[in-house]
Amino acid sequence: MRRARAQDVAVEDLAREQAAAELARLAKEIAHHDRLYYQKSAPEISDAAYDALRRRNDAIEQRFPALVRADSPSKRVGAKPESGFAEVRHAVPMLSLNNAFTREDVEDFAARIRRFLSLKDEDAIELVAEPKIDGLSASLRYEDGALVLGATRGDGSVGENVTANLRHVRDVPHRLAGRAPGVLEVRGEVYMARSDFAALNRQREKDELPLYANPRNSASGSLRQIDPGITAERKLRFFAYAWGEMSEPPGDSYWHFLDRLRHWGFRVNPKARLCKSPEAALDFYAGIAGERASLDYDIDGVVYKVNRLDWQQRLGMVSRAPRWAIAHKFPAEQAQTVLDRITIQVGRTGTLTPVANLAPVTVGGVVVSRATLHNEDYIAEKDIREGDTVVVQRAGDVIPQVVEVVKAKRPKSAKPYRPHEMCPCPLKTPTAREPGEAARRCTGALACPFQQFERLRHFASRDAFDIEGLGHTHIEKFREEGLVATPADVFRLHRHKAKLLEREGWGEQSVANLLAAIEARRRIPLDKFIYALGIRQVGQATARLLAKHYRSADAWLEAMKNAQEERKENPDEMKKAEIVGPSYAELRSIEQIGFGVADEIVEFFGEQHNLDALETLLGEVTVEDFVAPAAAKSPISGKTIVFTGTLTAMGRNEAKARAEALGATVASSVSKKTDLVVVGADAGSKAKKAEELGIETIDEDAWLKLAGSQ
């Protein structure tokens, strides 16, 4: 009997191998039609046929999330330009925003500002509230009043040069009105008005062309056209709301800066409001939510920004988001569907995550067939069972999750969920749940095939080694075929070139592209290297802290091995860092690294499999020393500072942030490597230890002068 082609099999009946093959076919076919449509304006299939391809791709990815390809159509809008755009490195990074979803989140945001700045109860916190435009972020650079460069946000550090296209966007002045700074970088959102979007689709329908899905995707695809004339036809618009590099201060307040933008000739959202308090900002949010449907542009929330620019400067940023701003998102759209069964997904650190497999339902314009159930406590708390009718929402309009059970519709046969005592991997290793933790973990460690796969995925991911073209499906297949088992094997794939060329759908060019992408990643910054190792609790921020402190891979590796030996020799003294030994004590002294994180790091170095994998990896790659961003020259640049006691004029968090901005490293405990200790009121053992070690100490007044705050 002839076996059915994968493309003829219903999504719910696809085997894993068939699904991978079908996703490969769909990626290639949809890319072909995208090129015809976006670059040639010559579609060869109907709108309905194209949409059917996209829906099938999305449905397969929902059912097999581990098979999502690096070149998946769901990860792009339209097609890449035929010749590409030149890269632009932003002089000042384009930051992202943290999100708030409830009134309590916004109140916590205001409370954090008050604590950080040591404000009194009677000190008002003025916020500027602006509708959050659902568009595409862009940056415009003006020199002597003339537009010289326009770029997309990209990854926040590097974007694309789309100057020619941005010149065709209405609301983007080619020359600024009145007096302007010699260098002025204005940032904002490119969008398509709903009325223009509707007119565009009416014309496309008349011309028998495929219709666009929504204004945001239309704006994004239109801005990245090789032919600027196509961009001009799309009637894009621009709201200005921020600055990057400026040759002079922007002013005293953000509200004043918006006024300056208007005078220079930019369009600022007329709905923006200066709110005298967080409560007034929340009232604005409620009002604009009611107007949302009648606006001529899409919004997905409200952005709150601290009005005083001196406060913004003091607050600074954390990770990749400013402390002085937050995006208050609108409630997620919800829908009801049936939970067919609960399956388990094993992460790179062995965490077992229960996943709800759902009858497909559309939520916020996206078909959802899988949703996270977080952990077994979450399931028990909500009493979620297979067969239940459940309420599903996309958290932050992105991640699907089950939020409620409709118990009135529960079938009599539904049984309570029982946690997995064995890992679903082929080894069937036992699972364990540590006291005080919500997660259940597989005890198979690196022997567990699921963990091996997830660790390799993490290793090649964008924020780690960022190997273009080495997607989930390729990693899984390479691992199954014995081509890769450890990270170092990725850099040895060139030895298997003949086998790669034998794989279905691979040719000389695709193999050459992959091997070239791998070769391009043989050098990596220390912080990315540490993050790529996938150590539990070591995210990007912690990896950067470690890199900043130890500076080189050799120094970090030696210190971690020493800390592991100290831990092994003193297993009962782990809460007394000084007793354990100097290397562990130094690790614990790093600001924001507690005992839990420190233990995870040294445990990683206590596993021989990890040490072997590290040694072979270091034989294949070069880890670049950490280079701190250039900071203003200051008396404390390059020094290690410890704060102790109560600071009255400047809060502890602000003092730490200020020290780091001036080029210093802030530690949480005093050691021989400490250069300076700032002693506040009621100082304790740290001040005493500094005296014993002969380390310089200063009081708060001296610190304020040193920090330039007096």
pLDDT score of 440 more than 80: yes
For residue 585, what is the domain's CATH number?
1.10.150.20
Task: Measure the CA–CA gap between 403 and 395, rounded to whole angstroms.
Answer: 10
The pLDDT of residue 395 is: 58
Annotation says 656 is catalytic: no
pLDDT score of 236 more than 70: yes
Task: Measure the CA–CA gap between 343 and 576, rounded to whole angstroms.
Answer: 42
Task: Measure the CA–CA gap between 21 and 6, rounded to whole angstroms.
Answer: 7
pLDDT score of 368 more than 90: no
Final residue of a structural domain among 467, 488, 521? 521
Final residue of a structural domain among 271, 301, 329? 329
Residue 634 lies in a domain: no
- Which pLDDT band holds residue 84 (cuts at 50, 70, 90)? low
Determine the average pLDDT of the residues in 97-119.
92
- Which pLDDT band holds residue 454 (cuts at 50, 70, 90)? confident
Under DSSP, is residue 190 helix (H, G, I), strand (E, B) or coil? strand
- Range in 293-302, 438-447, 634-643 with the lowest mean pLDDT: 438-447
* Tokens standing for residue 701: 């007044």
Q: What is the DSSP letter of 421?
A: S
pTM: 0.54
- Which pLDDT band holds residue 48 (cuts at 50, 70, 90)? very low
Task: Measure the CA–CA gap between 55 and 44, rounded to whole angstroms.
Answer: 18
pLDDT digits (tens, 9 = 90+) for 589-632: 887 888 888 888 988 888 887 888 899 999 999 999 987 665 55
Residue 172 lies in a domain: yes
Task: Measure the CA–CA gap between 131 and 286, rounded to whole angstroms.
Answer: 11
Q: Are strands 389-395 and 399-405 parallel, antiparallel or unpaired?
A: antiparallel
Q: What is the CA radius of gyration of the chain?
A: 28
Task: State whether 59 and 124 are in the same domain.
Answer: no
* Tokens standing for residue 308: 């005083």
Task: State whether 179 and 321 are in the same domain.
Answer: yes
**Buried/exposed code over 193-215 (b: 16+ C-beta within 10 A; e: otherwise):** beebbeebbeeeeeeebbebeeb
* Tokens standing for residue 539: 């995210």
The pLDDT of residue 144 is: 94
Task: State whether 180 and 324 are in the same domain.
Answer: yes
Task: State whether 219 and 274 are in the same domain.
Answer: yes
Task: State whether 55 and 102 are in the same domain.
Answer: no
Task: Measure the CA–CA gap between 284 and 269, rounded to whole angstroms.
Answer: 14
Of residues 627 and 323, which shows the higher confidence score? 323
Can you give 432-500 as a three-state secondary structure string? ECCCCCCCEEECCHHHCHHHHHHHHHHHHCCCCCCCCCCCHHHHHHHHHCCCCCCHHHHCCHHHHHHHH
Residue 23: give the domain boundaries: 6-75
Residues 6+ apart with CB under 8 A from 342: 354, 355, 356, 357, 373, 379, 384, 386, 417
CB 634: neighbour CB atoms within 10 A?
A: 16
Under DSSP, is residue 271 helix (H, G, I), strand (E, B) or coil? coil
Task: State whether 346 and 472 are in the same domain.
Answer: no
Counted domains in the chain: 6
Residue 81 lies in a domain: no
The pLDDT of residue 709 is: 62
Determine the average pLDDT of the residues in 231-241.
89
pLDDT score of 79 more than 50: no
Final residue of a structural domain among 624, 655, 677? 624
The pLDDT of residue 3 is: 46
- Which pLDDT band holds residue 228 (cuts at 50, 70, 90)? confident
What's the burial of 597, exposed, middle or buried (CB within 10 Å: 0-12/13-18/19+)? buried
- DSSP secondary structure letters along 565-588: HHHHH-TT-TT-HHHH-HHHHHHH
Q: What is the DSSP letter of 667?
A: E
Task: State whether 385 and 473 are in the same domain.
Answer: no
The pLDDT of residue 520 is: 92
| Residues 694, 695, 697: CA angle, nearest 5 degrees | 120
For residue 65, what is the domain's CATH number?
1.10.287.610
Contact status, residue 691 vs residue 674, Cβ threshold 8 Å: no
- Which pLDDT band holds residue 314 (cuts at 50, 70, 90)? very high
Residue 635 lies in a domain: no
Of the candidates 28, 132, 235, 528, the residue annotated as catalytic is 132
Mean of pLDDT over the chain: 85
The pLDDT of residue 287 is: 94
Q: What is the DSSP letter of 408?
A: G
- Which pLDDT band holds residue 530 (cuts at 50, 70, 90)? very high
Residue 631 lies in a domain: no
Can you give 313-375 as a three-state secondary structure string? HHHCEECCEECCEEEEECCCCEEEEEEEEEEEEECCCCEEEEEEEEEEEEECCEEEEEEECCC
Residue 28 lies in a domain: yes
pLDDT digits (tens, 9 = 90+) for 239-261: 999 999 999 999 999 999 999 99
The pLDDT of residue 581 is: 81
pLDDT score of 50 more than 70: no
pLDDT score of 192 more than 50: yes
Task: State whether 517 and 537 are in the same domain.
Answer: no
Q: What is the DSSP letter of 2?
A: P
For residue 296, what is the domain's CATH number?
3.30.470.30
- Range in 319-323, 560-564, 573-577, 680-684 with the lowest mean pLDDT: 573-577
Task: State whether 470 and 547 are in the same domain.
Answer: no
- Range in 10-19, 129-138, 521-530, 557-566 with the lowest mean pLDDT: 10-19
Residue 82 lies in a domain: no
The Cβ-side half-sphere exposure at 357, using a 13 Å CA radius, reads 13
pLDDT digits (tens, 9 = 90+) for 370-405: 898 989 999 999 999 999 999 998 755 456 889 999
Roughly how many angstroms between the first and final C-alpha of the chain, as a whole number?
86
Determine the average pLDDT of the residues in 681-704.
85
Task: State whether 585 and 494 are in the same domain.
Answer: no
Task: State whether 591 and 500 are in the same domain.
Answer: no
- Which pLDDT band holds residue 47 (cuts at 50, 70, 90)? very low
Task: State whether 28 and 91 are in the same domain.
Answer: no
Percentage of the chain beyond pLDDT 90 is 39
Q: What is the DSSP letter of 4?
A: P
Residue 630 lies in a domain: no
